[in-house]
Chains A and B, each alone.
Chain A
Amino acid sequence: MNNPPSGGAGPDLSVTIAGIRFRNPVIAASGTFGYGREYQGLLDVSALGGICTKGLTLRPRPGNTGNRIHETPSGILNSIGLENPGIPAFLEKELPALRELGPVVIANLSGADPEEYAEGARILGASSIDMIELNISCPNVKAGGMAFGLDPEMAASVVGPVRRAAGGKPLMVKLSPNAPDLAAVARACVDAGADALSLVNTFKAMAIDIYRRKPVFDMVSAGLSGPAIRPIALRMVWELGNALELPLIGVGGIAGPEDALEFLLAGAAAVQVGSATFAHPAAMLETIRGIRDYMEKGAFLTVGELSIRQKSPRARDRSGNTGSPPQGG
């Protein structure tokens, strides 16, 4: 429903994804915003459309040893290793305050094997979070450590059980850009029951300390994020939009309104902002304001109208209400 604010003037920035209404299409990306509290005082957190939590696993994890971050040109390499207090501690200690902040609460779920993922999904599905974002870039420890998200069958082996365990909770799957066939992985996630897809997670990359003469990271490989990856992430959103109808949330190096608008014009239903917040805490709020300004100047009433894609009959319905595919696995 497009209900403009009272007075009837101005664009409607709200978007509805998998039945969840976001006041605007700007979401804080997982791993960059803690649980929402850490940035209080530096930006008005309540103005954000949504917050993705730090990646959660069923059991607590200490994360990686050694260096965890390393700056690159227009980017960051990270090897945090999913340090988190575990899902039960999150629900007890972090979720109550997070709920109070206002934005849509999206819990990012990770795991080492389908059973751990599914049990985590079951507990999150029963909680008051609004949506689950499923991180399939984790290594499958039972299959030699290859990331679930690199292979369509392995991805489905996680998405299916998570979909069933999560009950009716909306499920967004976060794709890895390192997949040799991203479209096939995406299609497998959709077939296994994803309501939406977020793309992309970090690119596999590395650095070497030439003075110590060894890799910067103990795990050697790390994840690259930041403005340097944005054109690639955008291309991936565009190409998946050719093949799929479900909502896509664009992530990857977005630092301001022009960047976000590229993804919205490419057909993304919303965007996530991650590394940019480190460099400039006001980035997300400036992005929201800039999207509004662009829509006012161009007389766009809803975010869905921004897309430059050929409008299919279903796409035409995306002006503020994307609908959602049937529930169930």
Chain B
Amino acid sequence: MNHVDSISPRASCFCRLIWKRSIGPEISCLEFAWSGPAPRGGQFFLVKPVRSGVFLGRPLSAAAWIPDTPENRLPGETAGPGPGVRFLLVRRGKGTGELTGLEIGEMAELIGPLGNAWGDFLPPPGGAVALIGGGIGIAPLLAFAGELAGQCFDFYAGFRTLRGAEEREGLLGPVRSRAREMVIATEDGTEGRKGRIPDLLDPAKYAAVYACGPEPMLKAVGTSAKQAGVPCFISLERHMACGVGACLGCTVETLRGNRRCCADGPIFNAEELNFDE
């Protein structure tokens, strides 16, 4: 099954920021209380602070859904705020700037979970799979890793740079114990192997590969997987307005015609995409 026709449940609510953490100088992790439908790995939310100077919510992939259990509560809490959803953010413009500047207790409107999920594209059981993330693109793959059985996937994470163990573990700690193998690469050699992830990946070892990150990385992974004859699924980014497939503003041009990144994606079979443009 690789396309779900019915609309999966979602909600639109005002949600409190209940936890936030900086990971290095550029990346923030924000957690909002969320009692709506739990996101599946790969799905995203539109997020907009109540106090905002921008018009539209920003599409953010869910990095994790945190159930309300005692071990997930903050130190000293006897009752939790309920389940939460976590996002990773880099400040890129005015909208992400506002979000990274939110204080605990402030409210944002969340719409979601939206889009399709990595789990819609699982291979037949038996083989290992590769999860390949570039920079902030690891976010939806972290959520996917949480759904997969331990030790059945290798996690590849590439960054321009990593500033020490705190940043590395802040991003990758949650998945390290579940991955069969973790491969880290930085372009400047500050952590892990020096170089780019696609050069370290042999798709032929896997039943399927799943990638999210900068477009050149996706193109390299898609091409390499195609040459190896391995199914490859890619999460794309587009500017969005409605996020639900109504406005036709987030077009992805595929070999089968126009698709909506928000509703037909954000995850697409790499074979449908034309990387030559």
Contact = CB atoms under 8 A, between A and B. Distances in A.
B25 interface: no
Interface in B243-267: 243-251, 253, 257-258, 263
Contacts of A37: 7
> Does more than half of chain B's interface fall in helix, strand or loop, or is it mixed?
loop
B240 interface: yes
B245 A34 contact: yes
Contact of B55 (A54, A74, A281): A74
B48 interface: yes
Interface stretch (A38-46, A134-142, A314-322): A38-46
Interface residues of B, number: 31
Contact of A38 (B9, B242, B249): B242
B239 A38 contact: no
A57 to B, nearest CB: 14
B91 interface: no
A282 B258 CA distance: 29
A226 B55 contact: yes
Interface string B1-25: 0000001011110000000000000
Contact of A39 (B55, B56, B246, B250): B246
A71 B54 contact: yes
Contacts of B245: 34, 38
Interface string A51-93: 0001000000011010111111111101010010000000000
Contact of B12 (A38, A70, A282): A282
A304 B251 CA distance: 41
B41 interface: no
Interface stretch (A14-22, A239-247, A272-280, A305-313): A272-280
Given A40-B7, A280-B109, A80 B249 contact: yes
B111 interface: yes
Contacts of A275: 55, 241
A281 B263 CA distance: 16
A275 B242 CA distance: 8
A41 B247 contact: no
A43 B11 CA distance: 9
B12 A42 contact: yes
A61 to B, nearest CB: 10
B57 interface: yes
Contacts of B57: 278-279
Nearest to B58: A71
Contacts of A62: 257-258
Nearest to B112: A42
A62 B111 CA distance: 28
Q: Which of A41, A226, A278 has the most CB of B within 10 A?
A: A278
Contact of A32 (B239, B246, B250): B246
B109 A70 contact: no
A31 interface: yes
A263 interface: no
Contacts of A203: none
A80 B111 CA distance: 23
A37 B5 CA distance: 12
Interface of A: 31-34, 37-43, 54, 62-63, 65, 67-76, 78, 80, 83, 226-227, 275, 277-282
16 contacts: A32-B242, A38-B242, A38-B245, A39-B246, A40-B7, A41-B11, A42-B12, A62-B257, A63-B251, A68-B251, A69-B250, A71-B54, A71-B95, A80-B247, A278-B56, A280-B12
Interface of B: 7, 9-12, 48, 53-57, 95, 109, 111, 239-251, 253, 257-258, 263
